[in-house]
Amino acid sequence: MGRILKVSRAGGYRLLLVRILLRLSEAVGWLESVCLSFYDSLILIFMKTKHFLESVDVKAIAAAAEAEALKNNWAVTIAIVDDGGHLLALQRLDGAAPVSSHIAPAKAHTAALGRRESKIYEDVINAGRMSFLSAPEIKGMLEGGVPIIKDGQCIGAVGVSGVKSTEDAQIAKAGIAAIGL
């Protein structure tokens, strides 16, 4: 009889130990979910937000830039790129020179990657720094490429070619103004 009692006591201790371990795992699981929830909150607080051009933005920019060009009877090509200089839209208006369909995207690409107007590069070269012509991946170093800046971040650019450089820039800026930037 003594032996049976020992077994039931040992079984009771084992059962008690299993119950304690289950309660601890529940507490650890609850604590883990609290920690993960806190971590998710921290990510939302400290993680940066990246803005980007949506297709509706691209369409609005293109329409406003086209309207500015048509209002002035200017035959141009309008290019819109994302922040990496990748082409999102290209529109060659009636009468625009074929070469403008190469120059406008190059200006936009340069403005997006440089995060500044392409005119700055033209000014550097005109000031005598001819070696800047060999800068890699920068092809459109003429005025007419304008970056699209939102909250201090470049989210794309507009490049225009076909009329005087200042007029190209005017068209690009009119397009960007259509999205409130």
pTM for this structure? Answer: 0.76
pLDDT in tens, 54-88: 999 999 999 999 999 999 999 999 999 999 999 99
CA 98 to chain centre: 30
User: 55-177 has which fold?
Assistant: Beta-Lactamase (3.30.450)
Q: Look at residue 4 in the predicted model and tell me its pLDDT.
A: 46
If pLDDT is split at 50, 70 and 90, which confidence band does 132 have? Answer: confident
Kindly tell me if the per-residue pLDDT of 5 is higher than 60: no
Question: How far is residue 90's CA from residue 81's CA, in Å, rounded to a whole number?
Answer: 9
Mean pLDDT to the nearest integer, 136-162: 94
DSSP category for residue 142: S
What is the side-by-side strand order in the sheet with 77-82? 87-92, 77-82, 153-161, 145-150
Q: Which two tokens stand for residue 167?
A: 């007029």
pLDDT in tens, 34-53: 566 666 666 666 667 889 99
H or E element that contains 121: helix 119-126
Kindly tell me if the per-residue pLDDT of 145 is higher than 70: yes
Compute the CA torsion angle 111, 90, 82, 166 (nearest 10 deg): 20
